[in-house]
């Protein structure tokens, strides 16, 4: 698994169908596949190839994004529900919300 964000999205039938996985931090670094999982695996392999090519050309290698942060106000009732579920899962509220966001962004692509 890579530390770079990989965006996976469906390809239109006119473009051959399947799935496209792109790495925004590495211009032109993409993978594809018949399933989202295949596209993701192909993009992870492409990252290594992209890095090798950049090194061979003497280019600086961009690092993955660091942790981001924002503050989000939510209704008290939602906050309480999230705290309860996080406690049931045995994780912090921040970890739980980050995981829920990551899972849902992965579904959207």
Segment 25-70, tens digit of pLDDT = 999 999 999 999 999 999 999 999 999 999 999 999 888 776 677 7
Residues 6 or more apart from 1 whose CB is under 8 A from it?
Answer: 44
User: Is residue 86 within 8 Å of 92, Cβ to Cβ?
Assistant: yes
| Cα 109–Cα 18–Cα 2 angle in degrees, nearest 5 | 50
Separation in Å, CA 14 to CA 5, 10, 40, 65, 101: 26, 11, 21, 33, 31
Question: What sign has the CA pseudo-torsion 85, 91, 94, 97?
Answer: negative
Answer whether residue 109 shows pLDDT above 60: no
């Amino acid at each position: 698994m890579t530390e770079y964000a990989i965006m996976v999205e469906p390809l239109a039938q006119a473009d051959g169908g399947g799935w496209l996985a792109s790495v925004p931090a590495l211009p032109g670094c993409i993978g594809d596949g018949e399933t989202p999982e295949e596209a993701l695996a192909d993009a992870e392999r492409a990252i290594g190839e992209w890095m090798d090519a950049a090194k061979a050309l003497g280019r600086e290698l961009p690092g993955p994004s660091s942790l981001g942060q924002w503050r989000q106000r939510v209704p008290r009732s939602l906050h309480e529900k999230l705290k309860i579920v996080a406690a049931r899962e045995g994780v912090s509220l921040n970890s739980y919300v980050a995981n829920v966001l990551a899972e849902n962004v992965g579904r959207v692509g």
